[in-house]
Structure 1
Amino acid sequence: MVFKVLYQKLKEEVPVRENTETLYLEANDVRDVRKKLAERPYNVEFIQPLSGKFLEYEKKSAEFKLEKI
Structure 2
Amino acid sequence: MIFKVLYQASKDEVPVREQTETLYLEATDVRDVRKKLLDRPYNVEFIQPLTGKFLDYEKKSAEFKLEKI
TM bucket normalised to smaller: over 0.9
Q: In 2, Cα distance between the equivalents of 1:5 and 1:14?
A: 18
Is the contact made by 1:13 and 1:43 (CA closer than 8 Å) also made in structure 2?
no
Name the structure 2 match of 1:50.
Answer: 50
Name the structure 1 match of 2:67.
Answer: 67
Q: Tell me, what secondary structure is at the counterpart of 2:41?
A: coil
Give the letter aligned to residue 68 of structure 1: K
Name the structure 2 match of 1:23.
Answer: 23
Gaps of 5+ in 1: none
Aligned length: 69
Question: 1:23-48, CA deviations, whole angstroms, 9 ceiling, x for partnerless residues?
Answer: 00000000000000000000000000
Gaps of 5+ in 2: none
Name the structure 1 match of 2:38.
Answer: 38
Is the contact made by 1:8 and 1:42 (CA closer than 8 Å) also made in structure 2?
yes
Alignment of 1:2-13 (within 5 A): 2-13=2-13
Runs of 4+ aligned structure 1 residues displaced above 6 Å come to: none
Q: In 2, Cα distance between the equivalents of 1:57 and 1:13?
A: 31
- What is the CA-CA distance between 1:17 and the residue it aligns to? 0.9
Identity of aligned residues (%): 86
Q: In 1, Cα distance between the equivalents of 2:2 and 2:13?
A: 26
